[in-house]
Homo-oligomer: A and B are copies of this chain.
């Protein structure tokens, strides 16, 4: 079949390998927590991998960040106090900043090296973050941070890596209890929750754990071409708000590259096999 000539980077995930043609490797260093690599690709701009898994690429980052940030921020009628856990590349905070009504963004990333690397290789992701007085850089352990917060946030966004070493705790019942406590009574939490083709068991666990705590628990999907199957899931939980109703009429943002009200609503229409897997 196909021959891979020239230089490529490759993510191997279970039985699948996804490779992109690269111009060169720009960076590769083990931080305190994980292996951080940056490639200059031919068609996707720069590409970051953490512990061998693609995280973000210049050309396609808008999908993940649009869908992680704007679905909850448009489901809440008046999001003011926001917590972002993880998301060290900066893209999620950048999207939250677009909502003029937001008053405070606590940004808690455990691995400062991810932020400094993003600053160098993905300047568009961190644009304006350090100038925006609403953004509070709090490098440290998000799990511990949430435990110490009570009744404080309108929206919590959990933008972690796969549930292996450092991010495993972000998928636990204990963490979800702390998130529940850290949210105001009509608060919303959204987290990335892996790929339905490869890891429907993880998604089911997350959804089951959230359902024990929250009234409104939903799953939604987006097309992300740098993840091995191209399908990615986000888990939504709220004590009050159904995300299929768009309640935020204040954040008038001209246009996105992925998100729209129509896309927001449609993302909750799950293919039958996904619905069955989380039942």
A→B interface (CB under 8 Å) = 1-4, 8-21, 37, 41-44, 49, 52, 60, 62-63, 197, 221, 223-225, 227-231, 255-260, 262-263, 265-273, 275
Q: In the complex, what distance in Å separates the CA atom of A12 from the CA atom of B8?
A: 11
Determine the chain B residues whose CB is within 8 A of the CB of A37 once the complex forms.
1
Asked if residues A223 and B271 are in contact (CB atoms below 8 Å), the reply is yes
Chain B contacts of A230 at CB under 8 A?
A: 223-225, 227, 229-231
New contact pairs (11) apart from A260-B271, A266-B266, CB-CB < 8 Å: A1-B10, A1-B52, A2-B52, A8-B17, A10-B17, A223-B230, A225-B229, A260-B269, A262-B269, A265-B266, A266-B269
A63 to B196, CA, bound (A): 14
Contacts of A257 in B (CB 8 A): 271-273
Could you say which residues of chain B place their CB within 8 Å of the CB of A271? 63, 223, 257-260, 263
Pick the residue among B4, B44, B265, B273 that contacts A269 (CB under 8 A).
Answer: B265
The smallest C-beta distance from A198 to any residue of chain B, in angstroms, reads: 9
Interchain CA distance A273-B12 in the complex, whole Å: 28
Between-chain CB contacts (< 8 Å), 14 pairs? A1-B12, A1-B49, A2-B10, A2-B11, A2-B52, A4-B10, A15-B42, A18-B18, A18-B19, A19-B19, A224-B230, A229-B230, A258-B273, A262-B269
- Minimal beta-carbon separation of A265 from chain B (angstroms): 7
Smallest Cβ-Cβ distance to A51: which chain B residue: B1
Complex contact B16–A18 (CB within 8 A): yes
Q: How far is the CB of A264 from chain B (nearest CB, A)?
A: 9
User: Nearest chain-B residue to A6 (Cβ)?
Assistant: B15
- With both chains docked as a complex, state the minimum distance between the C-beta of A246 and any C-beta of chain B, in angstroms: 13
Residue of B2, B9, B221, B272 near A1 (CB, 8 A) is B9
Chain B residue with the shortest CB-CB distance to A67:
B271
B12 in contact with A2 (CB, 8 Å): yes
> What's the nearest-Cβ distance from chain B to residue A88, in Å?
19
Pick the contact of A14 from B1, B12, B43, B267 — CB < 8 Å? Answer: B43
